[in-house]
């Protein structure tokens, strides 16, 4: 028990907030927000489990049509732009989500990788941040190790670690793809955690249905 005058520290396993950014649900969306929601659902049709396609991240961003549109356009570019595969970028994203302890992000990227046919044990290693060389190609292992360190300590990246990605065959544009993918998912993890729409220990059902508004 905390002593008098002290504030109890929430468990790292679970910290559900009561005060949070409200959600603009699909049935309440109008104008550009409704249009972006439709675009998200159409773009992801068949690529993800239905309950994850339009998550609480987008419903929170729906409070600002300009921001919603900008973040969706960037997300679309992260996955559909460039030359790195969707699977590799989803792997990067799962590792970053695990570093950032973003439960919603983990549910999303785990689902995407399962649909890509990724090995269950490989997914588990990424979620638990115990990535071994034996289960990944040299390029995958190098990129994922880089992503984990970059998400934890961006200033700690060394010249040698950056050069290693070049030695694995990544072009300057592909290096930027990796950096952008990492940074984008750090951003979305922060948005969800700070706004209160995700918390440690939440279930997939809570995240998908909108735990912040009581489901």
> Is CATH 1.20.1290.10 what the domain over 26-213 is classified as, yes or no?
yes
Contact call for residues 144 and 95 (beta carbons, < 8 A): yes
| pLDDT value of position 210 | 60
Domain ranges across the chain: 26-213
| pLDDT value of position 54 | 86
Tally Cβ neighbours within 10 Å of residue 65.
Answer: 18
| pLDDT value of position 1 | 36
| pLDDT value of position 12 | 46
Mean pLDDT by 10 residues, the chain (215 residues): 42 64 94 96 73 84 98 96 95 97 90 91 95 94 98 97 97 98 97 90 74 41
Token pair 């910290």 in the structure block, residue:
15
CA distances from 50 to 83, 198, 202, 208 (A): 27, 19, 19, 9
- Chain-centre distance of CA 176, in angstroms? 18
For 117-136, how does the pLDDT look when each residue is reduced to its tens digit (9 = 90+)? 999 999 999 999 999 998 99
Give the whole-angstrom CA distance, residue 105 versus residue 93: 8
| pLDDT value of position 14 | 57
Contact call for residues 58 and 214 (beta carbons, < 8 A): no
Token digits for 142? 């190098």
Token pair 């115990």 in the structure block, residue:
130
CA distances from 52 to 12, 26, 34, 91 (A): 24, 14, 17, 17
| pLDDT value of position 203 | 81
| pLDDT value of position 215 | 36
| pLDDT value of position 6 | 43
Token digits for 167? 């030695």
């Amino acid at each position: 028990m905390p002593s008098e005058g002290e504030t109890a520290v929430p468990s790292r396993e679970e910290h559900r907030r009561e005060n949070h950014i409200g959600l603009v649900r699909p049935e309440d969306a109008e104008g550009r927000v409704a249009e972006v929601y439709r675009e998200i659902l159409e773009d992801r049709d068949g690529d993800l489990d239905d309950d994850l396609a339009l998550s609480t991240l987008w419903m929170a961003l729906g409070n600002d049509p300009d921001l919603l549109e900008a973040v969706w356009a960037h997300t679309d570019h992260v996955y559909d732009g460039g030359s790195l595969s969707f699977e590799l970028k989803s792997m990067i994203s799962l590792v970053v989500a695990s570093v950032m302890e973003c439960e919603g992000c983990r549910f999303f990227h785990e689902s995407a990788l399962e649909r890509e046919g990724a090995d269950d044990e490989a997914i588990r290693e990424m979620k638990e941040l115990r990535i071994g060389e034996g289960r990944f190609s040299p390029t995958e292992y190098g990129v994922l190790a880089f992503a984990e360190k970059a998400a934890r300590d961006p200033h700690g990246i060394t010249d040698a670690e950056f050069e290693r990605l070049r030695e694995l065959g990544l072009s300057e544009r592909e290096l930027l793809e990796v950096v952008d993918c990492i940074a984008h998912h750090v951003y979305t993890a922060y948005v969800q955690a700070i706004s209160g729409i995700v918390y440690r220990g939440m279930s997939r059902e809570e995240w998908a249905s909108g735990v912040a508004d009581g489901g």
